[in-house]
A and B are shown apart, each in its own frame.
Chain A
């Protein structure tokens, strides 16, 4: 069974540009989560999508946005890129909770570098 897949692996942009990162969850998983991991730091929660709806977002500016498609894949969009946005962006997926929290399984991330 394929795990969570993310594309691209690496992305290089300049300040002010826009970036789009993509994530395909594990088959059968309906929830998708996005995290930012800056160099040497822990995981900071960005966004949570479930059944196509945004369920929660972390403490990030509105230029970080995303969506989830009917096939449960997801996109993370970052507008007006800033140098501080350089980080590893991780996507995770989980089964629907049905009232019980399910473990999240991660992809290997997209390394976003802002020049």
Chain B
């Protein structure tokens, strides 16, 4: 079946370093992707999205890269801060159907 997965379940980075969180998706027809951040006790928070007609999209300190050839999505966080510690989910959508979420990656920022 269709699935969205993550290569690394946990990621630890030093404060100030850049973080890269990866996501593999299996459905080549997916045309819309979102990254969410979920802090403990809270719901997922929208970070950034990208549609399949783009390869890269930048936000404030975050960049999403989409490689449709290998069905890979990544989230780059520049100058990682303690407040970035959370679980990050990627989600895919195709043809306006329901989103499929990956299992999540926990990002821990070390002092």
Which residues of A pack against B, CB within 8 Å? 4, 33, 35, 41-43, 45, 48, 56, 58, 90, 92, 97, 99, 101, 103-109
- The reply to whether A101 and B43 contact each other, CB–CB distance below 8 Å, is no
A2 to B13, CA, bound (A): 34
Given contacts A90-B43, A103-B34, A105-B46, contact A33 B104 (CB under 8 A): no
Q: Which of B53-101 contact A (CB under 8 A)?
A: 89, 91, 93, 96-101
Task: Report the contact-size class of chain B (Cβ under 8 Å from the partner).
Answer: 20 to 34
B111 within 8 A of A: no
A66 to chain B, nearest CB (A): 14
A35 to B100, CA, bound (A): 11
Give the one of A45, A104, A108 with max B CB within 10 A: A104
Given contacts A42-B104, A101-B93, contact A48 B43 (CB under 8 A): no
Contacts of A45 in B (CB 8 A): 98-101
